[in-house]
Amino acid sequence: MSGLVLVTGAAGRIGTWLRGGLPERGWAVRSLDVVPVPDVRPGEEQVVADVTDLVAMVDATEGASAVVHMAGISGESTWPAIRHANIEGTFCALEAARLTGVPRVVLASSNHATGYTPRPDGGLLREVDAPPRPDTYYGVSKVTMEALGSLYVDRYGLDVVCLRIGSAFPEPTTTRQLSTWLSPDDTVSLVDAALTTPSPGFSVVWGVSANTRNWWDLSAARALGYEPQDDAEVYAEALIEVHGEPDLGDQVHGRVGGEYTTAEFDAEHFSA
Ligand SMILES: NC(=O)c1ccc[n+]([C@@H]2O[C@H](COP(=O)([O-])OP(=O)(O)OC[C@H]3O[C@@H](n4cnc5c(N)ncnc54)[C@H](O)[C@@H]3O)[C@@H](O)[C@H]2O)c1
């Protein structure tokens, strides 16, 4: 499969990686963000629009083969802000795909949809063993994202792949990220697999690199055709020297959502 992909949140960190990497894999990219992308590339189309504007989203989605929905608030915030950008935004992305007949949507979910889930005591955690257990309003928006995706598959026959992204950064910066890191190249590979795999229906997969310290099971992502190449372990010595060995008994390392499960993420720290 190939064709034109609408990437929302294109000016953001992951959007920027996708704008670089997807064309190398044969996809044409139409970039959408509420701010202009700074460096439009040859062959790239650009739309400046708010993802919560359904009319604009329908216009932007026309003629695409797929939507990769990355736009939104990418961490904890106030309830009104999360509700608007993340929940309304996801509805508009899916509804625009339905209205324009675009058959596939890839959604940027998060490990924080399941953040209060205890980390497994040995072994690997499968997606099916981590049902919704959000750690923040942000996590609730990702649970809602997965629920909306499921609805649009069952009711309207779309293909929707939800990526429960771990920590997508240029490189890991904490000892938790030795387990949760998703590298830039592997991010592109994962999205490409989600776009290419035949008839996924509704699928939810962890988004993480091939880290030695992984405790998320990558079988479902690999079944889509994802072949991660990177391993955070090359950063382990330097990070452990600064931060010490991860204590698996503490809250940050003992739960899927890490620091998002701590009191620092209580609502009063995010008041309007
Ligand atoms: N980076 C990670 O570690 C990580 C982990 C889990 C999930 N995710 C999810 O992946 C997606 C992308 O993450 P990122 O790290 O690139 O975030 P980012 O904050 O760098 O980028 C988000 C982009 O969305 C745009 N945006 C926000 N509201 C918008 C709106 N209403 N309309 C149009 N554009 C809007 C912003 O302008 C920004 O360019 C987000 O949905 C995030 O929740 C990221």
| Class of CATH domain 3-270 | alpha beta
What is the per-residue pLDDT across 14-71, written as a single tens digit (0 to 9) for each?
Answer: 999 999 999 999 999 999 999 999 999 999 999 999 999 999 999 999 999 999 999 9
Distance CA 97, CA 91 (A): 10
CB under 8 Å, gap of 24 or more: what pairs does 215-223 form? Answer: 215/119, 215/120, 215/123, 215/124, 215/125, 215/179, 216/111, 216/124, 216/125, 216/166, 216/179, 216/180, 217/124, 217/125, 217/126, 217/127, 218/124, 219/126, 220/126, 220/127, 221/190, 221/193, 223/197
Q: So what's the pLDDT on residue 252?
A: 87
pLDDT > 80? residue 124: yes
Percent of the chain residues past pLDDT 70, beyond the cut: 99
Pocket test for ligand 1, best of 14, 84, 112 (most atoms within 8 A of CB): 14
> How much distance in Å is there from the Cα of 10 to the middle of ligand 1?
8
Query: What is the number of the ligand 1 atom nearest to the C-alpha of 75?
Result: 43
At 118, give phi and psi (nearest 5°): -65, 145
pLDDT score at 272: 58
Q: CA-to-CA distance for 66 and 4, rounded, in angstroms?
A: 7
Structure tokens at 47: 């739309």
Say how far apart CA 49 and CA 30 lie, in whole Å.
12
Residue with tokens 């994802």: 226
Q: Which of 167, 247, 250, 148 is nearest to 206 (CA)?
A: 167
Query: Is residue 1 scored above 70 in pLDDT?
Result: no
Using alpha carbons only, what angle is made at residue 197 by residues 193 and 202, rounded to the nearest 5 degrees? Answer: 100
Q: How far is CA 205 from CA 105, 106, 112, 216, in A?
A: 14, 11, 13, 10
Ligand 1 mean position, distance from CA 75 (Å)? 8
Structure tokens at 143: 């649970």
Strand partners, 53: none
Q: How far apart are CA 272 and CA 237, in angstroms?
A: 40
Q: How many helices (H) and strands (E) does the chain have?
A: 10, 9
Distance (Å) from CA 71 to ligand 1 centroid: 5
Cα 268 from chain centre: 26
* Catalytic status, residue 138: yes
User: What ligand 1 atom has the least distance to the C-alpha of 16?
Assistant: 16
pLDDT tens digits for range 217-272: 999 999 999 999 999 999 999 999 999 988 887 878 899 999 999 999 999 898 75
Ligand 1, atom 38, residue with closest C-alpha: 12
**Judging by DSSP bridges, how do beta strands 27-33 and 45-48 pair with one another?**
parallel
Residue nearest to ligand 1 atom 35, measured at CA: 71
- Dist. CA 234–CA 71, nearest whole Å: 30
Return the residue whose CA atom lies nearest to atom 15 of ligand 1: 13
Token readout for 142 is 């990702």
Tell the residue nearest (CA) to atom 1 of ligand 1: 168
What average pLDDT score do residues 125-150 get?
98
Which protein residue has the closest C-alpha to ligand 1 atom 28?
Answer: 72
Q: How far apart are CA 251 and CA 177, in angstroms?
A: 15
Show the ligand 1 pocket: residues with CB < 6 angstroms.
Answer: 9, 11-15, 33-35, 50-52, 70-72, 74, 85, 89, 108, 110, 165, 167-168
CA 123–ligand 1 middle distance (angstroms) = 31
Cα 175 to ligand 1 centroid, rounded to whole Å: 23
Catalytic residue, from 116, 137, 138, 156: name it: 138
Domain residue spans of the chain: 3-270
SS3 of residue 87 by DSSP? helix
